[in-house]
A and B are shown apart, each in its own frame.
Chain A
Amino acid sequence: MMEAIIAGLGGLVIGFKMLFVNWQSLIMLGVGGVLLWLGIKKDCEPLLLVPIGFGCILVNIPMSDVMLKDGFIRTIYDAGIDTELFPLLIFIGIGAMTDFGPVLAQPYTFLLGAAGQFGIFLTLMLALFLGFPKLDAVSIGIIGACDGPTAIYVTSKYAPHLLGAVAVAAYSYMSLVPVIQPPIMKALTTEKEKKTVMKFTAKPVSKTTKLLFPLVITIVGGCIAPKGLPLLATIMLGNLMKESGVVARLAGAAENEIANVVTLFLGLCIGATMAGPAFIRAETLIILGLGFLAICLDTVCGVLFGKLLYIITGGKINPLIGSAGISAFPMAARVVAKVGMQYNKKNYLLMHAMGANAGGQIGSVIAAAVMLSVLAGMGVIR
């Protein structure tokens, strides 16, 4: 009887013993704590980092069965990540939140949104050069889209074993845009370029244009890059609902209730992919490094393209707005406005940067769609 009681009590402490056997899980419990600290104390993407941090802790508790067959997070993962459903549902919400007016009012800013995607392709090439398998390299390069749902969509589909590292890199660097971008913007532009004043004179965009835009992008983009149609279609569906004005309840649900519930599940699932033995590898550090590089390269390419426009237009376009051609919306545009004001308080670049930023949002989705379709054409993916 006594032996049975001792054995039973031993069962209660075995988890603590295993904690010190499996050192990777112990470290990841600390990483989970740091993610929670960043979200709660530093207000760094809290909507994502809090569930990610908690999911990370859950999966690293010794003998945790949350990610085993029929475990509660595994069930959510299979339903929403394995099927690629969660990022697509988030995209409907993003479409419902985004006003593409600034880019439609200033169509040239769309070019900046395209230039800001070069980091994806440069990082993809670098990852291939470093010896990553093709599909892993695609998933790493996509961090340069600076767009969490796009990165998760592509990675969950083609390199699910990298999901934790890619998602954490994508969301961490997105929140660090105000820190990462300004030094690059300042280093690449001259004093005169930084002080270039841009007046906002664009006329309001008609409702018809705003309604046609999501339809045209979906049809044309879908024909060019059918592999990326789900990404394009969901963001444009959300936007069509917003602009139509007749389904305010659906648009509201997409950007609030649905997005909130999916964000919670998505965060938990990403955190739960960060099991110590699978996450603590040199590969993870390389992925984090390449992801950082991808976002730096996006900024470099965007600003350099801005400089080209500055030359072509005879100094009418401030090259700083080029750095907003990424998907971190509207954070990247605000960074441009703030940096512009540091050099000339009478220079209001916000609306121009918003155009580039909205262009970057579409650009990142199109870049991902194009990349997937090219890979399908090459027979790398099915």
Chain B
Amino acid sequence: MAIDVIAPMPGTIKEIIVKAGDAVKEDEELVILEAMKMENPIVAPSNGTVKEIKVKEGDKVNTSQVLVVLG
């Protein structure tokens, strides 16, 4: 079942740590989201495999926008 990892707040994608196909564990960092000049690591909500990355570095995102899809 696909799991959407969403932006918890508005901000800018500073860094994408994983790539499609990577196996990730719960709480592993996927993306760094910069908001209010603070780098916020966005982590995997559960174990899984990165199915799709929906953003690229430098993108501005809104709250609840899908960043990564885990399979």
Contacts and interface: CB of A to CB of B under 8 A. Distances in A.
A350 B36 CA distance: 8
Nearest to B63: A200
Given A333-B36, A350-B36, 12 more contacts: A200-B9, A200-B63, A201-B63, A330-B38, A345-B27, A346-B43, A348-B9, A350-B9, A350-B38, A350-B40, A351-B8, A354-B36
* Contact residues of B: prevailing secondary structure: loop
A346 B45 CA distance: 7
A163 to B, nearest CB: 31
Contacts of B48: none
Nearest to A341: B41
A210 interface: no
A348 B45 CA distance: 13
Interface string B36-66: 1110110101000000000000000001000
A350 B9 CA distance: 8
A337 B36 CA distance: 11
28 contacts: A199-B8, A200-B8, A200-B63, A201-B63, A330-B36, A330-B38, A333-B36, A334-B36, A334-B38, A337-B38, A337-B40, A341-B41, A345-B27, A345-B43, A346-B43, A346-B45, A348-B8, A348-B9, A348-B40, A350-B35, A350-B36, A350-B38, A350-B40, A351-B8, A351-B9, A351-B35, A351-B36, A354-B36
Interface in A298-355: 330, 333-334, 337, 341, 345-346, 348, 350-351, 354
Interface of A: 199-201, 330, 333-334, 337, 341, 345-346, 348, 350-351, 354
Nearest to A357: B36
A323 to B, nearest CB: 16
A348 B41 CA distance: 9
Contacts of B8: 199-200, 348, 351
Nearest to B64: A201
Contacts of B40: 337, 348, 350
A341 B42 CA distance: 10
Question: 4 tightest CB-CB pairs across the interface, nearest first?
Answer: A348-B8, A345-B27, A351-B9, A345-B43
- Which interface residue of B40, B43, B45 has the most chain A CB atoms within 10 A? B40
B37 A330 contact: yes
Contacts of A345: 27, 41, 43
B19 to A, nearest CB: 21
A350 B27 CA distance: 18
B64 to A, nearest CB: 8
Nearest to A347: B8
A333 B35 CA distance: 12
Nearest to B27: A345
Contacts of A334: 36, 38
A200 B64 CA distance: 9
Q: Which of A334, A341, A348 has the most CB of B within 10 A?
A: A348
A346 B27 contact: yes
Contacts of A341: 41
Contacts of B41: 341, 345
B52 to A, nearest CB: 20
Nearest to A197: B8
Contacts of A200: 8-9, 63
Interface in B1-50: 8-9, 27, 35-38, 40-41, 43, 45
Contacts of A351: 8-9, 35-36
A346 B37 CA distance: 19
Contacts of A346: 27, 43, 45
